[in-house]
Structure 1
Amino acid sequence: MMITKKVIFSTEVLEIGAEAREFTTIKMAILFGTEAPTALRSSCFIINVVPISKQIMTGMVLKIDNQEYEITSVGGEVQTNLGQLGHIALSFTGLTEASLPGTLYLVDKEYPKIKVGSQIQIFEK
């Protein structure tokens, strides 16, 4: 019997800013909805803004296409910013204490290959 985890957030990458991939060196990806200001747009992976059905918590899984990352810490602004603006930073550093309020911290493993059309989802534990 296969156990399917409930998706609480699901979006798609619509465009990739010219400098967005430069953040790979610090293991970070910046997401922003389609209303991203021009000054920031070039640094971001632009996504559809969609509602989040449940509180994002440590231990949940963020999935980018077929790559899964356990959530290690959730910044205090992540829930609001992601749901309203589509704007958070993903940090693939494994930190267990959120040092930045708008950042979602994920297990430290290979940086994802994000492309236009990539699916970004968050699953319940």
Structure 2
Amino acid sequence: MVMLYETKINKIGALSSAFSGDNMLILFGDGAPDELKDYCLSIDIEPVEGDFREGDELLLGGESYRVTAVGEAVAKNLASLGHITLKFDGSKSAELPGTLYLEQKELPEVLAGDSIQIKRCC
């Protein structure tokens, strides 16, 4: 396994579950604008070690999710702002540039202090 990205959740916005009906979680570095902080999982901004691709694995809240599509700005936005959307809908094509699409499974229960990892097998 090759680690492509690793960070931790510092804070969970009071309204971060507002998008759970759309199977989405929003990540943002600690510098998120005030009007967005309540909707986001606040994370440390960390370097990205390569581009993400279909078949990579995201680990979050003790669960594993296969990456199904990657928006063209995901790696850049994650490395510079810590800001992407995680969409758990199994989409095979990336409709939005800042969205990482994951297999359709129940959203994980996340807690402050949890890690987020994206890995590539082989």
Q: Which amino acid letter does the alignment assign opposite residue 41 of structure 1?
A: K
1:99 equivalent to 2:101? Answer: no
Once the two structures are overlaid, the 10-residue window that deviates more, 16-25 or 90-99, is 16-25
Q: What's the TM-score, normalizing by structure 1?
A: 0.94
Q: Number of residues paired by the alignment?
A: 121
> Residue 60 of structure 1: CA displacement?
0.3
Q: What's the TM-score, normalizing by structure 2?
A: 0.96
8 Å contact kept, 2:61–2:111: no
Specify which of 26, 46, 65 is matched with residue 30 of structure 1: 26
- Segments ≥4 residues shifted beyond 6 Å: none
How big is each residue's C-alpha offset from its partner over 1:28-52, in whole Å with a ceiling of 9 and x where there is no partner?
0000001101011111000000001
How big is each residue's C-alpha offset from its partner over 1:1-60, in whole Å with a ceiling of 9 and x where there is no partner?
xxxx12110000000111101211110000000110101111100000000111111110
> Residue 89 of structure 1: CA displacement?
0.1
Question: How is 1:20-99 mapped onto 2 (pairs within 5 angstroms)?
Answer: 20-99=16-95
1:117 equivalent to 2:113? Answer: yes
Q: For structure 2, which runs of at least 5 residues remain unmatched after alignment?
A: none
Q: For structure 1, which runs of at least 5 residues remain unmatched after alignment?
A: none
> Residue 65 of structure 1: CA displacement?
3.5
Q: Which amino acid letter does the alignment assign opposite residue 6 of structure 1?
A: V
Identity %: 39
Aligned counterparts of 1:111 and 1:65: Cα–Cα separation in 2: 9
